[in-house]
Amino acid sequence: MTDLAELFPGFDTHWVDTGAGRVFARSSGSGPALALLHGFPQTMAMWHRIAPQLARKFTVVLIDLRGYGWSSAPESDNGAGYAKRVMGEDVVAVMEALGHIRFHVVGHDRGARVGYRLALDHPGRVTRLGLLDVLPTAEVWKNIRAGLSPAAHWAGLSRPAPTPEKEIAANPNAYFEGLMAKWTNAQSLAPFDPRALAHYRAGWGDPSRVHAMCEDYRAGATIDLAADEADLAAGKKIVCPTLTITGDFYLTRGAGEAPVDVWKRTFAPGATGVMVPNGHFVAEESPAETLDALLAFL
């Protein structure tokens, strides 16, 4: 992966040791601390169109989640090593190592799931929470079971090992690029910078990381779902200001309830919402609109 393009010139690099391995991070800027957490099947490279601008007002910390990008991919069975609760602890470890006890969090997709779990588990740490194109895990599974959302990759990737891993190994590029294209408004890879795509391909070209991604989804079908259901039953809420940014194509397709209203009904009664005119990958498909919404909120 050493020949990949530099997408964050001027950003410092960091390796933070945790009990599950090393987490790779980059940082730049000054001001309030802001952790940016990427989604599936990507890396921190997904922030390359907006992170430099955010670093003009914030101390931006980009983190490769465990199992993704340059971070370690710890061994795991049945999702145990990739529960969003333990991934959130990685974020705490990185931010503390860089001197930040309290910080904003903005996450996309799987990174948003880590972010909202972190806000529920550690309310004193997360000062503001941005959730990009995501619904609570418990809501997603409820919609899947009700036939309101396609199970697709959620059910496929969460099957017991090594079935999905072997299927993906036949042609990782075809599998992951097919998903990414399908989730864009353009129905193609055109919205992505080829340099960022090279970073993503390098990640999913490693069988240990494909296994990590499957473990991420296995956790989502079991451990994360149970954590959500327990907190919903207990009436637990996210106490910090929360913003949802959603595309008008992928997440809301076929849904009868606006994403922000789902968050208000479940974990974030005070949430506000912004919709941008594109698909699932809002920071890459609609970088200007996403940046404006984040700056106004943060």
List active site positions: 109, 280
DSSP H helices, the chain, are 51-54, 84-97, 110-121, 137-145, 152-157, 163-169, 172-182, 194-204, 207-221, 223-234, 259-265, 282-285, 287-297
Q: 231 exposed, middle or buried (CB, 10 Å; 0-12, 13-18, 19+)? A: buried
Distance of alpha carbon 151 from alpha carbon 141, whole angstroms: 8
Angle at 227 between CA 175 and CA 96, to 5 degrees: 85
Closest CA to 64 of 195, 189, 200, 225: 200
Query: Residues near 56 by Cβ (< 8 Å), separated by ≥ 6?
Result: 29
